[in-house]
Chains A and B, each alone.
Chain A
Amino acid sequence: MSRLAVFIISRIIAFVLTIVIGVTIVFAIPRLLPYNPVEAQIGFIYSIGQFYDPTAIESLRQALYELYGLKGDPFEQYLAVWRRLLTFDLGPSIMNFPTPVARLIGIALPWTLGLLTFTLIISWTLGNVIGTIAGYLSNRRFSKFLTGVAVVLYPVPYFILALVLMFTFAFLVPIFPLGGGMTLVVENINLDLVLNLAKHAALPALSIIIPGALGWWFLSSFTLSTQKKTEDFVRYAELKGLRERIVLRRYLIRNILMPQMTALGLALGGIFSGALLTEVVYAYPGLGRLLYQSIINNDYNMIMGVSLLSILGVSTATLFLDLLYPLIDPTVRYR
């Protein structure tokens, strides 16, 4: 069996294993704790102060147990979770009863996906290119300046920067709106709609792009660049008399983007979490805000649903990247 086939298969196995472990954790944790959402819900109803017919309460209890997937013994429940997952039936949302969780997620997902994909591509590419150039020309002034900026941006989480941006550009100098996804009602796709979308997405996008490009990706590619520029093949390229621009483009950037792709896979989890929080800060109508609302309203099913989806989503994206890498890096592809 060829090396490539072995690699692909082992990666897929690891992927499945990760998903299984993740789902099991999400399944096991709530059940291990002394928290019973059904009783909590019923207790809540009682606390409002009304009186209910005991039989009605009992049938409600049964229904709730079913809804929450808590019927039957733990093993049955575990299988039930898997069945639900594979049929995309995550149960109904409590706060928006009876709308299914899957549907609500389906509405919020495009916003998050759109924001993430767009910002990821821009920040990864921009950050790596700028970082590589700055690493190669490390004695220029702009390089030192950018490194200083990166030191400040790198440790700060996305949503904190989101707050700063919100303060500066939506409050102090009100260029952008304070939050939300859009203000117009969708009647037809026209330029106004697109502009409106863009304006609302601008600050959330910037909150992710700036620390990504000028912080994390800048710093890592800068370090790689300062290392690589002393390697034989770069030195020889310079010795051949090739211009700086060519050396940067064909020798440095190309050979740095490869390992950075692997790094992207490892960083996806953190970037995803950061994006969720940024959405909360800006009340952007994606998964983040959905999660926030479900926490406030104790929507147990929704929280589970979003958690499961996150694990699945990030693992799949990482798998995708891992499988893509050998196709792009010639030193791995051709053996």
Chain B
Amino acid sequence: MSYDMEVLRCKGVTAQYEAGNLAIRAVDSVDMTVRRGEIFGLAGESGCGKTTLMRVIYRDVTPPLRVLSGKVSLKVGDGEELDLYSIDKNTLMKIRTKMISYIPQGSMSVMNPTSRVKDQFLEVFRKYGRVDKEEVLREVRAKLSELGLSERVLQSFPHQLSGGMRQRTIICLATILNPSLVLADEPTSALDVVYQRGVVELIQKIRDMYKTSFIVVSHDMGLQYQVTNRIAIMYAGKIVETGSTEEVFRKPLHPYSEGLINSIPRIGGAKQLEGLAGLPPNLANPPPGCRFHPRCPYRMEKCATMEPPVFRVGDRTAACWLLER
């Protein structure tokens, strides 16, 4: 795995929400890398810290959120590596949309209601000094038709588009300048199945054509299986397993991953679905040792006292004492 192929590298990222004396550590010592042209999935239950991790990567950090430690580096098109937390505000604003894009959760109402879609595209280009309307629109139309979106979308106002169309338009808006990395937080949650497929296909198409990397955050394991190449499972602020999607789904290494994957309904499956017992821990006061141990069906004595390190198995990683061999 040569460094040239990496687009994003997070090392030891820790961040917490602070309210008075209370501190909720939503992201704890996270290491993560995303490669070029890869659709990387981030999965886990609600409240496990996925969205917070996204915000930290994008450097959308405002009180009460505070980043305690860690490094986030983005590798941009020409090979230059940017430490996202040491660049100044102006540079940050410049690389947003051009090098790295963010599609937030609940993006239904994310577009300007009184501005036509074409104006919103023009706005993006204008930010970088491209003011030649005709040429810009030609480019946009070309790209839209490549991606399978009708030109009619440009003339419309956001409220005239259906939910699925809106989501796909937002994805196009976010990727129009060919950023290296796109962070998509729950891109399909508010949509019904038909539209979900459209979104999935769009993401894959963009990746295929422009080698754009995506991080897809979702608690929907079915979606993760469909769209991602590699996947990371998060639990209580920590990454508990990473690996290629195919392998992780076929044979999960961490008990939590196993529980998640077993909860997906399968066509033709006769087995009764098992959910995971218990609830996610209170992040203000996490359990000692391995954070999952209270709910783990395989727990050992060690798990209650000592936090497992990250074990490597080939191209995969997992943080579980079961792998200590």
The answer to whether A and B assemble together is yes
Q: What's the Cα separation between A329 and B114 when bound, in Å?
A: 7
CB within 8 Å for A331 and B114 given contacts A236-B107, A241-B96: yes
Q: What A residues does B92 contact at CB under 8 A?
A: 241
Distance of B267 from chain A, by nearest CB (Å): 36
In the complex, B110 has a CB within 8 A of chain A:
yes
In addition to A236-B111, A240-B96, A242-B123, 12 A-B residue pairs with Cβ atoms within 8 Å of each other are A233-B109, A233-B112, A233-B113, A235-B104, A239-B60, A239-B102, A240-B102, A243-B127, A251-B112, A331-B114, A331-B157, A334-B157
Among A236, A243, A255, A334, contact of B110 (Cβ-Cβ < 8 Å): A236
In the complex, B270 has a CB within 8 A of chain A:
no
Q: What B residues does A232 contact at CB under 8 A?
A: 104, 106-110
* Bitwise interface map of B from 274 to 314 toward A, beta carbon under 8 Å scored 1, else 0: 00000000000000000000000000000000000000000
- Chain A residues 299-335 with CB under 8 Å of chain B are 329-331, 334
Q: What's the Cα separation between A251 and B114 when bound, in Å?
A: 8
Binding site for A on B (CB under 8 A): 58, 60, 92-97, 101-102, 104, 106-116, 123-124, 127, 156-157, 159-160
Closest 10 CB pairs of A and B: A241-B96, A241-B93, A236-B110, A232-B109, A330-B157, A232-B110, A254-B114, A240-B97, A233-B112, A331-B159
Interface SS of B by simple majority: mixed
What are 26 contact pairs spanning A and B, CB under 8 A?
A232-B104, A232-B107, A232-B109, A232-B110, A236-B111, A240-B97, A240-B101, A240-B102, A241-B94, A241-B96, A241-B97, A241-B127, A242-B123, A243-B93, A250-B115, A251-B112, A254-B112, A254-B114, A254-B115, A329-B114, A330-B114, A330-B116, A330-B157, A330-B159, A331-B114, A334-B157
* Bitwise interface map of A from 29 to 70 toward B, beta carbon under 8 Å scored 1, else 0: 000000000000000000000000000000000000000000
Interface contact B127-A242, CB-CB below 8 Å: yes
Interface contact A246-B123, CB-CB below 8 Å: yes
CB within 8 Å for A255 and B96 given contacts A236-B107, A239-B104, A250-B123: no
Distance of A249 from chain B, by nearest CB (Å): 11
Q: What's the Cα separation between A239 and B160 when bound, in Å?
A: 24
Interface SS of A by simple majority: helix
Q: What's the Cα separation between A331 and B111 when bound, in Å?
A: 13
Which residue in chain B gives the minimum CB-CB distance to A255? B114
Q: Which of B58, B96, B113 has the most CB of A within 10 A?
A: B113
Q: What B residues does A334 contact at CB under 8 A?
A: 156-157, 159-160
In the complex, A237 has a CB within 8 A of chain B:
yes
Q: What B residues does A331 contact at CB under 8 A?
A: 113-114, 157, 159
Among A242, A246, A258, contact of B114 (Cβ-Cβ < 8 Å): A258
Q: What's the Cα separation between A329 and B113 when bound, in Å?
A: 10
